[in-house]
Structure 1
Amino acid sequence: MTWCITTCNFDIDVDLLFQENSTIGQKIALTEKIVSVLPKMKCPHRLEPHQIQGLDFIHIFPVIQWLVKRAIETREEMGDYVRAYSISQFQKTHTFPEDEEFKQRKQKAVSTVVEVSEVYAPQRRYRRQADAGELLDEESRVHSTLLEYGSEYYAVSPNIINALKLTPKIMKNLLWVPQAEEKKQLLAQGAQSVPPGMAEVSEEEDLQAAEELRIKTLMTGMAAMATEEGRLTASTVGQIVGLQSEEIKQIAFEYAEKAERSAEDRPERYGPVQQHRRMVASLNKQIQQRTKELEEVRPALSLHLFKQDQYADRLERELSSLADVEAQADSGLLEKLRALVAMNENLKQQEQEFRTHCREEMTRLQQSIEDLKIEFGDEADDQKVLKSLPLLHILHTWCSTVHNERSQLIDQQYNTDREKLQKIRLLMARRNREIAILQRKIDEVPSRAELTQYQKRFIELYSQVSATHKETKQFFTLYNTLDDKKVYLEKEYILLKLRLMFCFCVYINRAMASSGAKEQFLRQMEQIVEGIKQNRIKMEKKKQENKMRRDQLNDDYLELLDKQRLYFKTVKDFKEVRILDSRILMSKVSAVFSQKILQHLITPHSLPQRLSSFVSLSI
């Protein structure tokens, strides 16, 4: 309980070290401190110190259950925080070899990435002049910027359009497509450079040649950078700005339409590509369909696998329980039962083999009958065949009779064994009930540990009562001593008073010198001396009584010590005699049991009778 309270982050005023043999006062103080902390924790159950000290299970169990639940919840709440804090503290002073290796590789990788980025960084080759004017179109500005860094553009061919599946809408957004007028000029310039024998070229090849010629024309107007930050010439910038974006988009749209018509007119050029695409699409569709089928079958297979795992776990638990039972059972009896079970299984197997042999023989005989029917003619019936084959008929009848008798014998033996097994089970149940009754009666008798615990509790209670009695006796003795002291002080006061009176009388005698006062004084002195003698005699008598009482108690103590020694010696002798008696009894029982087993083994009985006798002996 103290551990649970401290785990829940509540303070309790107890000693850190555990004391095993604490006194009653220490235990009560500890229980009072525990009970005082429980209301602070808002415990829903009430508990008193005497209930903890007396081990009142009915009232202690709910509190213990609540404390353990609260401690587990607190540990779960603080577990992540403590784990994260411990990891952070560990990482402040320690590192793993993987972390060191990662840091080294990280530095090398960062330096390599920086070097590669610097090597492949874009370098400016041209620059637009300041007096060339501002570009209003975003597409023109993009073209101009990319040309400044040396990027080249080509017209998109129909093959690329079909391969990439570009629609006319996408073609409108291409960076560059030649305008109509510019296309005519480029085609005319390209036609002048073509030889007469190659005048018939396709539109695609003409377009590609015109595009190359256009790029050469634009690049001749570009001014190369003298330094890393070079400038563009005014003519180059003017040509770039001269490209009108609206006309470019119009030409791109017309080009896309012509490319689609060209693809429809010449399907033989793209036949293998389309066939490959259809094949890929078909395979993808088959893959998706197969994946869908597998996903549908997967839950059922998962459920079947889960059931198989549960069945395997249950079989393993049953095997382990059977192994435990087998380990606790008698080995000799177990071997006999195993031999009997093996014999039973062997008989069942022989019966099955005999039935199989009979079926095969019957099948063979039927086949022989069919062959004979075919041989003697289809019109012959079974009676004629059997009359012509009396030996086969007799053999068939004998096999059927033997099979029926064997089946009846097996069924009769099975019914007899089942009835005996039922009787054995009833007998076992009756014996189990008797054993349970005896077990409950044995449990009602207190064990040695319980008696020892009761003895310890009575000894503690006796120690507490004895301490209280001793303290009370000391108080009585102190009171008597103080009372005697008071009496002596009063007497001393009287003596002092008499002495003063005597002195006064002396003065009076000196003054008056009378004989009567002298006699009175002597009488008083004699009375005082007599009182002192009586007190002395009384004290000596009391001293003698206390001495005699001490001697008597000492004699009683020595006598009790002798009785204790005799008791321990008697208990030791009794234990030795009991152990010897139990050994002799066990040897006799084992001898009788082995003799009974030998008699049952030697006496001729049937198999079920032996089995029942073995079971009854084991019970």
Structure 2
Amino acid sequence: MAESFSEFPSQLGPILDPLASAGSDRTRTADSPPVDGELSRPIRLEAASGADKYVISAEEQEQALRQLEEELDDATTSVERLNAALKEKDERKAHVLNELNRLREKIRDAGADSVVEKLMLLLRSVKALERQEFALKSNFDAKHAELEAEICELEAKASNDYDDKSLHDGLDHSIGTASENLHLAKKELAARLRAVLSLKRQLDDVPTPSELTQYKCRLAELNTNIGEKDRQTRKFYSTYNALLEIKELMLKEISLLNSINSQFQDAIASTAGQMKLIDSMEGILKGIKQKLEKMQVGLQADQKICDTLRERISDSEPGGVLAS
């Protein structure tokens, strides 16, 4: 804007300079009236060649000055109008930038950056598809025009009683070209269909969120069933081991009773046999006591483990009862 103001002195110079030179070059005579009345006198200006002379009255000077002032006012008004328009555009630009920053902050706060990126990718895909569509339409229009030209040419040949052999040769050539193009188009279509089917299979292999939820629920059910089966199996093995141990003890007891029964009559017949029987019975009793002590130690260890498990269950689930 400062440049527009600086241009006015250079534009007004050619107009104001003759006036200034005229005011400085005019001469006074002794009979001249006072200075206050000098504006009513005509001003004589010499041309650049010095041959012609022009007379400009005070009214014309005032009119020229008024015209210049009006032009200056118009230019000032235009400059002010341009300044106001520029200021308004700056305000609009600042408002748009503020709105854009606010939208970006909202997107960041909402955590929708990935959604926006996907939307931008989709928009770019749409534009690419539009370009492909335009290219296909252009190709289609060109082929359509070419086929119409061939049809018109064939109709013209047929209407002008063209040579049948040449006409048949041209038709055969056109049909062969069309068949070849059709074969190539079928190949391209088959390749694209294979690619589409491959992509569909890949998409089908990717589980959907609902399928993932179903898989998760099913895996949780299977885990629960496996845990229940594991507990039952452990219980069955414990029962089997206990029964097997009871069986071994009962077999030993039966063997001992059979041995005592078979040797009892011979043992009580003599004093030495009685002492030997008593010693053997004491050894058997001692072995039974050792076995009992070992069983009690194992029982205490199992009881401690059971108490620990009860405490853990009661801490994790208040009021829970350990299943036997």
TM-score by length of 1: 0.21
Higher relative contact order (CA 8 A, sep 6+): 1
TM-score, normalisation: structure 2: 0.36
